[in-house]
Amino acid sequence: MSVTETTVSSPLPPGKYYFSGNEALAEGAIAAGCNYYAGYPITPSSEIMERLAARFAGLEGRVFIQMEDELASICSVIGAVWAGAKGMTATSGPGFSLMQEAIGYAALTETPLVLADIQRAGPGTGQATKVASGDLMQAKWGSHGDYQPIALCPWSVQEMYELTITAFNLAETYRVPVFLLGEEAVGHLQERLDIPAANRVARRHYQPGAPPFGHPDPAGVPSMPAFGQGEKLLVTGSTHDEYGFRRTDDPAAHARLVARLNDKILQHRDRIVSTRSYRLEDAEIAIVAYGFTARSAWLAVDELRRAGKKAGLLRLRTIWPFAAAEIAALGSSVRQIFVPVPPADRRPDHLPGNHHPGGTGAVAWPATWKNTCARAPTAPRSVPAAATAS
């Protein structure tokens, strides 16, 4: 990938802060150089836009707008990104549903953007202030057609900050929409946030005159120009060639484009997928968890260890692309794998973990898990450093 990272000093003075997850996410966006935010209020994500509205007002060159709905929010982000912005929006289930058509547009036009979906319990209006991670599948397959989004699952306030920066970096590196799938609990959780003196931030790769929608490498990421640079860009959501000319009747052009859109993510999955292991070295029982649920799982691992059971945790920080290889490897070293999900979600019989190619590890749903998950609020308010380390 031709994207370069530079060290950018933190806009907030480095130090210890006590923030909610949503506030930390907003600060992560600012640190990553986000300079365009458009959104529409929805619980439990609204604190992100409220903080950005206040913070952008005091910073140079950052644009905030409250739009008339979620369709307008994401579309205006895409417009701003093509005008040169680093853009993001945030929402929750109902708004995420509304945004799906534009997500497909962003995937096809290779528009880098970040979308924070602070999940509530669905379907429908559901429960706006309850913990759920039921948008996982929608994040992967929500828009029609074949594309590969990237989705990250922060489990702490610290990760709401750090993974937001990662999300912007991945969006720039692969020119894709990147989702931050937080849950209500991590959005509203208050805990310590360590702001570093500086962060690594990806710089947009632009090579004047290079084709904006094609690459000699069939899994390559093209140069990302902007309006107003004299490129006379043709940006379209229809199938197009490497210069943006519509090719709506040419099956070969379509196959070539869609293959690259998918391969640029799938062939770089090893660089994108991020997991963390906890007490897995000698584990016979593994829990695979992501997001807020991983906090309960982490607690369960310690409890099981105290009871003499060799338990460990594999925590997925990226949910898409899926950590299939990592879970398959786990399957050959442990006896059992458990996949807890929040009580508001469906039983995980349709989770991809049940179909992982490893095949040796049993994916089971112990009846007791529901109870363990329901105890999530008793999880420690701050996650020990040991748990965050790889």
Which residues are near other proteins by CB under 8 A? 35-36, 38, 63, 65, 67-69, 71-72, 75-85, 87, 101-102, 105, 226-238, 244-246
Q: Contacts from 228-232 at CB under 8 Å and sequence distance 24+?
A: 228/83, 228/84
Find the shortest distance in angstroms from Cβ 234 to other proteins. Answer: 5
For residue 342, the 8-state DSSP code is: -
Q: CB–CB of 188/22 below 8 Å?
A: yes
Find the shortest distance in angstroms from Cβ 235 to other proteins. Answer: 5
Short-list 179, 183, 113, 116, CA closest to 150: 179
Find the shortest distance in angstroms from Cβ 230 to other proteins. Answer: 4
Find the shortest distance in angstroms from Cβ 115 to other proteins. Answer: 14
Report the residue number, 246 or 305, with the smaller CB distance to other proteins.
246
DSSP-derived secondary structure for 50-87: HHHHHHHHTSTT-EEEE-SSHHHHHHHHHHHHHTT--E
List helix spans (H) across 267-343.
269-272, 293-306, 324-331
Strand 150-152 relative to strand 177-183, pairing: parallel
Report the residue number, 36 or 278, with the smaller CB distance to other proteins.
36
Assigned token pair, 157? 């306030």
Report the residue number, 78 or 383, with the smaller CB distance to other proteins.
78
Find the shortest distance in angstroms from Cβ 132 to other proteins. Answer: 29
Q: CB–CB of 79/38 below 8 Å?
A: no
Report the residue number, 236 or 274, with the smaller CB distance to other proteins.
236
Report the residue number, 72 or 153, with the smaller CB distance to other proteins.
72
